[in-house]
Amino acid sequence: MTPIEVHFDSGGSVCSAWHFAAPRRRGEQDVPVVVMAHGFGGTKDSGLEPFARRISAGGADVLAFDYRGFGASGGTPRQSLSVRRQIADYHAAVDTAKRLDGVDPHRVGLWGASFSGGHVLRVASERSDIAAVIALTPLTSGLAVSRAAASSRNVATSARWTIAGVRSRLAVKRGGAPTMMPLVSPVGQPGALALDGAYESYTSLAGPTWRNEIDCSVGLEVVGINTKAAAKRLRSPLLVQIADFDSYVPADAVAATATLGRAQVHHYPCDHFDVWPGHQWFDKAAVDQVAFLRRTLLAQ
């Protein structure tokens, strides 16, 4: 079934979303809904649909959306990542999902992966209406991720991009345009992510609205992320899926946060992108997500 295009306002900009409706059985009441968005610079047409279809086939509606400034959503500056804005977009998407026809507003789940895996912890900890949370290889410690990214660059390159990032942030605050860098690049070339396999993995998932560029102030956003406090406050059932050989999001940092959130934890003997569509561990990760939702959202 083709998803229904949905639009909603967040911070004065129009966000684009897809509504995947779960099959309805005769006499069935309103069904749960799961809200999802992509990770670092991703767009909803870049690998989210297979996850959304698995979840909707399992019995829950899905609302998958693009953040402001990315993909099919409006908003400026384009390709400029702000944790604060993306958290606000998640909140607006949840409020929209609760108003969808045939949705039970009391059974709302959140789904996030990598960068958005940290977002969903924060959003759920700030609300009392979230019934389940899925965090797939979540970015829980910006410091740990920044260390991993820095390993692919020399000191001079890191310093140059940090200076450029500060200047870009100041320019955007003054209403100017951000300075761009490649979001992902082959090892040894300039880019926000230049780890082994990153370029091939990102581009294999890329949909038509994805752009391989990002505001070079992104490092300033990443380094400040710490989800420990959110995990401690979280009261919703939580599934954390960890790639044990993750080159991007260190597995030990994710495991430490999962413990704080009293999560159900699943481990996969693979790297970061191996749980995505087209890779070896996608099927297992998706099956585990649906099973978790059946025990939480769908069992209510």
pLDDT, position 164: 67
Residue 91 located in a structural domain = yes
Q: Rg (Cα) of the chain, in Å, rounded?
A: 18
Residue 165 located in a structural domain = no
Q: Which CATH number do you get for residue 241?
A: 3.40.50.1820
Q: Is 49 helix (H, G, I), strand (E, B) or coil?
A: helix
Task: Please report, rounded to a whole number, the percentage of residues in the chain having pLDDT higher than 70.
Answer: 92
Provide the pLDDT confidence category of residue 116 given band limits of 50, 70 and 90.
very high
pLDDT, position 103: 96
Instruction: Average the pLDDT over 64-75 and give the result.
Output: 98
Average pLDDT across the chain, whole number? 91
Domain count for the chain, please give it: 1
Q: Is residue 268 predicted with pLDDT exceeding 90?
A: yes
Residue 79 located in a structural domain = yes
Q: State which of 104-108, 185-189, 219-223 shows the largest mean pLDDT.
A: 104-108
Provide the pLDDT confidence category of residue 52 given band limits of 50, 70 and 90.
very high
The pLDDT tens digits for 237-258 are: 999 999 999 988 999 999 999 9
Distance CA 237, CA 246 (A): 24
pLDDT, position 169: 76
The pLDDT tens digits for 38-49 are: 999 999 999 999
Residue 181 located in a structural domain = no
Residue 172 located in a structural domain = no
Give me the domain span that covers residue 54. 4-142+226-295
The pLDDT tens digits for 145-194 are: 766 665 555 555 666 666 666 677 777 777 778 888 999 988 878 888 88
Residue 120 located in a structural domain = yes
Provide the pLDDT confidence category of residue 220 given band limits of 50, 70 and 90.
confident
Query: For residue 294, which amino acid is it?
Result: R
Residue 190 located in a structural domain = no
Distance CA 94, CA 131 (A): 12
pLDDT, position 149: 60
Q: Note if the pTM is more than 0.85.
A: yes
Instruction: Average the pLDDT over 43-63 and give the result.
Output: 97
User: Which residues face 204 on adjacent strands?
Assistant: none
Output the six-digit token pair for 207: 């949909």
Q: Cβ atoms within 10 A of the Cβ of 84, count?
A: 9
**Closest listed residue to residue 275, CA positions, set 136, 145, 135, 149:** 136
The pLDDT tens digits for 85-97 are: 999 999 999 999 9
Residue 201 located in a structural domain = no
